[in-house]
Amino acid sequence: MLLQLTISNFAIVSFLELDLRSGMTSITGETGAGKSIAIDALALALGERGDADSVRPGAEKADISARFRIDKLPIVQAWLSEQELDEQGECILRRTLSREGRSRGYINGTPVPLAQLKALGALLINIHGQHAHHALQKSDYQRLLLDAYAGHQQLINKTSQFYQQWRQLSNERKQLKDEQAQWQAQRQLLEYQVAELDELSLDDEEYPQLDAEHKRLANGAELLNDCQLALNILADNEEVNALQQLRHGLKVVSELCQMDQRLSPVLEMLEGSMIQLEEGHSELHRYLDRLELDPERLYEVESRISKVMELARKHQVQPDALYAFHQDLTRQLSTIDESNHRLDELEEEVAQAQRQFLQAAERLSQSRQRYAQSLNKQITASLHQLSMERGRFEIMVTSDTKAGYSPLGIDKVDFLVSTNPGQPLSPLAKVASGGELSRISLAIQVITARKVATPTLIFDEVDVGVSGPTAAIVGKLLRKLGESTQVLVITHLPQVAGHGHHHYFVSKNSDKNDTQTQMQELSEENRLQELARLLGGNAITANTLANARDLLVS
């Protein structure tokens, strides 16, 4: 419930603080006094869009705060807890708007995005504007009202969930089919290329090994001659060789060490070189013993390399990259084969998701049909009370799977009305009389509001086009609604205002330099004066006061 609304420097309001209570509160005032300014300011606190023009001239920023009692609102408490925002039985929504157009929102003192203000505001207040009958003429809004009245949000959530699954799987199937159409054109070429490379059967490390072996085999004679030459130089030449010379040098240095021990490190190095030379000579001998000229193997290696080079040129890759290229083509072909299998799976998954969606949508349709029947009776009865004794109201829920699916199911909702005997039911949008449309709109809003769980309802001049005895009925309906929830009613009709449990008067004061709007709660005597003014204008007489007393419901 809205406990307090504080407005600073908004439009023509310098400062305004309203303390509100449960029940029905009537708000009246002279034309142009700004009866809707408080509601516009409240809408800003609830996250609606605002602009710098809303800031009072001469002020740096507008500041609006709304304080709510939420100790009996578990949904609101759960929302605040989920968002990790403090709540102590009350909740304060605040909005500031600077002259430069900068906007900030707060919940319980914590800065929040406007989207969060709006989400919480939707749980706290429902505003019915004077132009609501324009929205009521749209099928989507009619469906929204019916769903809000039915309260079957779980059915909607389930339907939306299955719709999203069906849509996601359908999109995946379409994308896969589009890709397959492209792949099929490549499949024959891929199969040929993969088969050709499969026949080559090149291993990952084979080409570098072939290249190394080819160098060895192709240079076999040179390797043989040079190895023999190196052996002769090292040790095999009987006349002069490196090993013989090193031994002689080693002997000389050994004798020198007898005379000077400082040459010992040199001797050690020469001894190590002697060992290395002998081992190198032995290894080279062993290599030469194993070295054979193999023309047949050379031919085989050259043939193999030739095939690799030929396919590498054909596919425009380097020979050492041919193996990786082969693996990539194989993966592409495997992907096409797997996509065929995945497509078969998707066909079944899409069909299953579609069945689940249609089942959920059908349950939602049945719920809409059931609640539509209940709403038909109540709104028709309300129309009779609102001086449309022969009026009929009917909600047509049409299910059409061929028209397309949506997260809200498969239904088209139409509000149909007949205002005169013999007149067929027609869409609400085709009702000719503005006054009739206003009354129908009011009946729908009041009745659907009873079922909506929002703790505060605001009706902003929804009684436009209503007068006389009908206005009194409107007042009774709103007062009855106020017995179960907080209702704020901005009205120009005394028959409506007189039914309020409380009454605020809006006035505008102007001088040469300034204009201000103010609101004050009226005592019972002042309420009589205001109702009399609404009845007869500024000239208040004994008769208008008597009539006002008849209208005032205590």
User: For residue 99, what is the domain's CATH number?
Assistant: 3.40.50.300
Q: Which two tokens stand for residue 492?
A: 């120009």
pLDDT at position 552 is 92
Instruction: With respect to residue 111, please indicate whether it lies within any of the assigned structural domains.
Output: yes
The torsion angle over the Cα atoms of residues 278, 279, 281 and 284, rounded to 10 degrees, is 180
Residue type at 98 in one-letter notation: S
Q: How far, CA to CA in Å, does 514 sit from each of 12, 13, 17, 251? A: 9, 11, 19, 122
Residues 108 and 220 in one domain: no
Residues 220 and 103 in one domain: no
Instruction: With respect to residue 387, please indicate whether it lies within any of the assigned structural domains.
Output: no
Coil, strand or helix at 125 = strand
Q: How far, CA to CA in Å, does 475 sit from each of 96, 393, 482, 491, 525? A: 35, 21, 10, 10, 20
Residues 201 and 121 in one domain: no
Residues 210 and 108 in one domain: no
Instruction: With respect to residue 397, please indicate whether it lies within any of the assigned structural domains.
Output: no
pLDDT by 10s per residue, the chain, length 554: 999 999 999 988 889 899 999 999 999 988 777 778 888 899 999 998 888 888 998 899 999 999 999 988 888 888 888 888 876 778 999 999 999 889 999 999 999 999 999 999 988 988 876 555 566 778 888 898 899 889 898 999 999 999 999 999 999 998 888 877 677 667 777 878 888 888 888 888 888 888 777 777 666 667 777 787 888 888 878 777 888 888 888 888 888 888 888 988 988 998 898 899 889 988 888 877 777 766 676 677 777 888 888 888 888 889 888 888 888 888 887 777 777 778 888 999 999 999 999 999 999 999 999 999 999 999 999 888 888 888 899 999 999 887 789 999 999 999 999 888 878 898 887 775 666 777 787 788 778 877 766 788 888 877 776 777 788 888 888 898 888 889 999 998 999 999 999 999 998 887 767 777 888 999 999 999 999 998 887 778 889 899 999 999 87
Residues 81 and 3 in one domain: yes
Instruction: With respect to residue 115, please indicate whether it lies within any of the assigned structural domains.
Output: yes
Q: How many domains does the chain have?
A: 2
- Which of 302, 328, 354 is at the close of a domain? 328
pLDDT at position 220 is 65
**Residues in contact with 447: Cβ distance below 8 Å, sequence separation at least 6, in sequence order:** 149, 375, 378, 379, 382
Instruction: With respect to residue 118, please indicate whether it lies within any of the assigned structural domains.
Output: yes
Q: Measure the CA–CA gap between 476 and 442, rounded to whole angstroms.
A: 13
- Which of 295, 310, 328 is at the close of a domain? 328
- Which of 286, 304, 328 is at the close of a domain? 328
Residues 236 and 313 in one domain: yes
Residues 307 and 208 in one domain: yes
Instruction: With respect to residue 517, please indicate whether it lies within any of the assigned structural domains.
Output: yes
Residues 211 and 295 in one domain: yes
Q: Which two tokens stand for residue 126?
A: 């429902």
Residue type at 95 in one-letter notation: R
Residue type at 57 in one-letter notation: P
pLDDT at position 453 is 64
Residues 126 and 202 in one domain: no
pLDDT at position 488 is 93
Instruction: With respect to residue 458, please indicate whether it lies within any of the assigned structural domains.
Output: yes
pLDDT at position 517 is 81
Radius of gyration of the chain (CA): 47
64 contacts 6 by C-beta, under 8 angstroms: yes
**Residues in contact with 278: Cβ distance below 8 Å, sequence separation at least 6, in sequence order:** 235, 243
Residues 84 and 200 in one domain: no
Predicted TM-score (pTM) above 0.85: no
pLDDT at position 130 is 59
The dihedral built from the CA positions of residue 110, 115, 121 and 127, taken in this order, carries a sign that is positive
Beta-sheet pairing, 502-510 with 24-29: parallel
144 contacts 408 by C-beta, under 8 angstroms: no
Q: Measure the CA–CA gap between 214 and 479, rounded to whole angstroms.
A: 103
The torsion angles phi and psi of 416, rounded to 5 degrees, stand at -115, 145
Instruction: With respect to residue 174, please indicate whether it lies within any of the assigned structural domains.
Output: no
Q: How far, CA to CA in Å, does 422 sit from each of 391, 417, 428? A: 10, 12, 17
**Structural domain boundaries enclosing 290:** 196-328
The torsion angle over the Cα atoms of residues 215, 217, 220 and 222, rounded to 10 degrees, is -20
